[in-house]
Amino acid sequence: MALVRLLDFRQDEHGDWVAVLSCGHTQHLRHQPPWQNRAWVLDAQQRRAQLGKPFPCGWCAAEHAANEAAVQHPK
């Protein structure tokens, strides 16, 4: 699985932050303790510090898992 990096941020129609990833996917980043503890997403300087860093893309992981399952259990 290729290394995914965080390229940019944007806000959705509700004002929630969305990460734009190098794989082409996007992911919402919310700070909603105790479920999601991402206080850094609320601060512009801390968001900028995350740019270019590796980011675990849930969509890519799900696709990878589905591909692996198909290889292990072909129809």
Q: How many domains does the chain have?
A: 1
Entry pTM: 0.79
Range of the structural domain that residue 65 is part of: 6-72
pLDDT surpassing 90 at residue 7: yes
9 in Cβ contact with 19 (< 8 Å) = yes
**Is 50 part of any domain?**
yes
Q: Mean of the pLDDT values across residues 50-70?
A: 85
For residue 20, the tally of other CB atoms under 10 A from its CB is 16
Per DSSP, the three-state class of 10 is strand
**Is 47 part of any domain?**
yes
pLDDT on residue 48: 96
The rounded distance, in Å, linking the Cα atoms of 54 and 67 is 22
**Is 27 part of any domain?**
yes
pLDDT surpassing 90 at residue 4: yes
pLDDT surpassing 80 at residue 1: no
For residue 19, the tally of other CB atoms under 10 A from its CB is 21
**Is 1 part of any domain?**
no
**Is 68 part of any domain?**
yes
pLDDT surpassing 70 at residue 5: yes
